[in-house]
Amino acid sequence: MFTHIQVQVSNRYLYPTQVTFGVLFNDDRCANIFEALVGTLRAAKKRKVVAYDGELLLQGVHDNVEIILKATTPAAAAQSSN
């Protein structure tokens, strides 16, 4: 997931550590890999890899919610969850 967020944000934003939920949800590559995107995001939020407002993100209603990537590498994310 970390890599997919990086790809999405590097293509669309000047500040390359955030992406909207709608952009991530509608990306075909991401959808094919993460069937349960909302659950994956919740787990990443719990591990402090990403941050976003609210608990549950729903398509349509939360398309403009910014998802902020907090960790710089997957190793750093794994270390922060310990």
As averages over each run of 10 residues, the pLDDT of the chain (82 residues) reads 54 64 85 79 88 90 90 57 56
What pLDDT is recorded for position 81? Answer: 56
Domain 2-80 has CATH 2.60.40.10: no
Listed by start position, the domains of the chain span 2-80
Q: Which amino acid is at 6?
A: Q
What pLDDT is recorded for position 65? Answer: 95
For residue 13, count CB atoms less than 10 angstroms from its CB and return exposed for 0-12, middle for 13-18, buried for 19 or more: middle
Residue 77 DSSP SS3: helix
What pLDDT is recorded for position 5? Answer: 59
What pLDDT is recorded for position 2? Answer: 54
What pLDDT is recorded for position 24? Answer: 87
Give the DSSP letter of residue 12.
H
pTM for the model = 0.65
With the C-alpha atoms ordered 73, 1, 21, 6, is the resulting torsion angle positive or negative?
positive
